[in-house]
Amino acid sequence: MSGCAIEGIGCYSPRDARDREMWRRLQAFCESEPQAFGRNPAAGHVTGSAFVMSPDLKSVLLTHHRKLNRWFQLGGHCDGVADVPFAALKEAYEESGLSRIRLLSDRVFDVDIHEIPESGRECAHLHYDVRYLFQAEAGEIAASAESHALAWVPLEQLEEVTDSPGVLVLRDKLQPFLASCC
């Protein structure tokens, strides 16, 4: 399954059993759910995330999510648009205040399927989160209404800010990625 593409998402090269299982589940969901890129909480939905690296690639921009009250990468819903790299970049701009962000690879960086807890408006549901790697090139960060704060977090300090495996995977995958591409 390595290198297979999913329309609207792109290609991914799973590196271990976790990656292969996440990719398999994402592929099955996209094939079986006609509204995969919408916001149907009963079925779950595809979301796009952006790991935005600092210009020197030593820190990642995290947002302290207002609703979930935890630190995460930037990202959000596709809102019916079946172009996940576009959705991830759009969310990165909207949530960061940065004026120029560039995609470091057109390949999917990571896939993480996780449950979003029930809230006042929605039942608990799955996010089929597709993550891409970006680099900040210009602008000053400014938190949006969706977050309490933004912070550049050095990679070696990620565990001091979050215990989310979905964020910590960045540190684990970044060095091999940079060695192979940059």
Please check the confidence at residue 23 and state whether its pLDDT lies above 60: yes
CATH of the domain at 68: 3.90.79.10
User: If residue 102 lies in a helix (H) or strand (E), which one and from where to where?
Assistant: strand 100-103
Gap between the Cα atoms of 134 and 93, Å rounded: 11
Among 110, 130, 121, 111, smallest CA distance to 42 is for 121
pLDDT digits 0-9 by tens, 30-42? 999 999 999 887 8
Residue 148, C-beta contacts closer than 8 angstroms, at least 6 positions apart: 64, 65, 66, 69
- Binned at pLDDT 50, 70 and 90, residue 1 comes out as very low
Q: What is the pLDDT of residue 122?
A: 81
pLDDT digits 0-9 by tens, 116-149? 888 877 888 999 999 999 999 999 998 888 888 9
pLDDT digits 0-9 by tens, 104-116? 998 999 999 998 8
Instruction: Provide the domain count of the chain.
Output: 1
Please check the confidence at residue 2 and state whether its pLDDT lies above 60: no
**What does 37-88 look like in DSSP terms, one character per residue?**
TS--TTT-EEEEEEEEE-TTSSEEEEEEETTT-SEE-EEEE-TT-S-HHHHH
Range of the domain at 99: 5-181
pLDDT digits 0-9 by tens, 55-101? 999 999 999 988 778 899 999 999 999 999 999 999 999 999 999 99
Burial of 81 (0-12, 13-18, 19+ CB in 10 A): middle
Q: How is residue 155 written in tokens?
A: 């990679």
Please check the confidence at residue 182 and state whether its pLDDT lies above 80: no
User: If residue 108 lies in a helix (H) or strand (E), which one and from where to where?
Assistant: none
Please check the confidence at residue 166 and state whether its pLDDT lies above 90: no
Please check the confidence at residue 21 and state whether its pLDDT lies above 70: yes
Side-chain-side CA neighbours of residue 144 (13 Å): 17
Q: What is the pLDDT of residue 69?
A: 85
